[in-house]
Chain A
C-alpha cells in the first residue's frame, strides 16, 4: 500500500527535461555521426578496382617507356639519312621538275664538305654541267679539279 503511494507520488510528478543541452547540438550531431561512418564496401570495392586499374596503366606505360629507351631504333632520324635512301635518279628528276637552277644548287652546297661522289653527281644533272662550266665553277669557288679526277 505504502509502495503504491510512493509510485503514485512519483507518477503524479511532472516530468521535466532536467539537463541543459548546448544550443544547436542536435543540428550538428547528425553531421558528426555521418562523418564517422566507415566507407561502404561498395566504395571500398570501387576504390580497389580503381587502384588496380591505375596500377595496370602505370605499369604498361613504364614498360613502353623502358622499351622505347632500351631497344635500339632502326628508324633513320635525320634528313640526310632519309635523303641517302632516295635513288640518285629520283633526286635528279625531282630537281629538274622543280626548275631549280645550278646557281641555286651551288649556293647551297659547301664544297669543302662535299665528297667526290657528290660533286660527280653534278655531271648527271644536265647539259649545263659540261667541262667548261665545271671549270668555271671550280674557279669561282676556288677549288681544284683534283676532286674530279
Chain B
C-alpha cells in the first residue's frame, strides 16, 4: 500500500501547488505556513520521535524542523515535492541531533544506544504489546542511518524512490540497508 495520504493533505482541502503558491506570496506566507505545520506536524513528529525516543527532545527537534522549513522556503525548488523536501529536512535534523548528542557528552555509540533504550523504557506507551516493545529495543541497536531507513520504509511506508529523494541515497543502497535492518531485527527478536 502506497502512502497516498502524503500526496494529498489529510487535514486540508488545499492542494500542494496552491499551498506552495501561497507560501511564496509574502502576504499569505504566514497563514499558509500555519496550514503547512498543521498538515505535516504529526508525520514529522512521528518520524522524529522514533529517532530520538524522548518526547521533549522530539518536540524540540520537530520545532527546529519547521523553523528550518520556514527559513528555507524561498530556496524550495518546485521540481521536488513539498513533503519529500520537509522529510529531508526532518531526517537531516534527526541525524544531526543524534550526532551532536554524542559529541556533546563524548558518548561512544554503545552508550547512546543504552541511553535511548533507557529513555524508551521510561516512556508511556499506547501499545502494551510485548513484541512491539522488543522491536523498538531491537531498532535502537541499529546505526542511526539504518534505523532511519527502516522507519521510513516500515512505519512511514514510503517508496524507495521517495526515500532516495529524501536521503539523497541510491535506491539500491536503500534496499540493501532496509533488508539488512530487517535481518538484524529478526535475529534480535529471535534471540530474546
- List A residues at the B interface (Cβ < 8 Å): 3, 6-7, 9-10, 13, 15-22, 25-26, 29-30, 32-34, 36-38, 40, 42
Mark contacts of B24-44 with chain A using CB atoms, 8 A cut-off: 1 yes-contact digit, 0 otherwise: 001001100110011001100
In the complex, chain B residues whose CB is within 8 Å of the CB of A29: 37, 41, 45, 59, 62-63
Q: Does B79 contact A (CB under 8 A)?
A: no
Mark contacts of B137-176 with chain A using CB atoms, 8 A cut-off: 1 yes-contact digit, 0 otherwise: 0000000000000000011000000000000000000000
Q: Known: A3-B179, A15-B154, A30-B41. Is A37-B123 also a contact (CB below 8 A)? A: no
Bin chain B's interface residue count: 35 or more
Docked-complex contact B126 and A17, CB < 8 angstroms: yes
Q: Does B183 contact A (CB under 8 A)?
A: yes
Q: How would you classify the secondary structure of chain B's contact residues: helix, strand, loop or mixed? A: helix
Docked-complex contact A10 and B186, CB < 8 angstroms: yes
A116 to B75, CA, bound (A): 93
Closest to A6 in B: B186
In the complex, chain A residues whose CB is within 8 Å of the CB of B49: 19, 21
Q: Known: A3-B183, A10-B182, A26-B42. Is A33-B63 also a contact (CB below 8 A)? A: yes
Given contacts A13-B131, A15-B155, A30-B38, 13 further A-B contacts (CB under 8 A): A3-B182, A6-B185, A7-B179, A9-B186, A10-B182, A13-B135, A16-B129, A19-B49, A19-B123, A29-B45, A33-B63, A33-B67, A42-B26
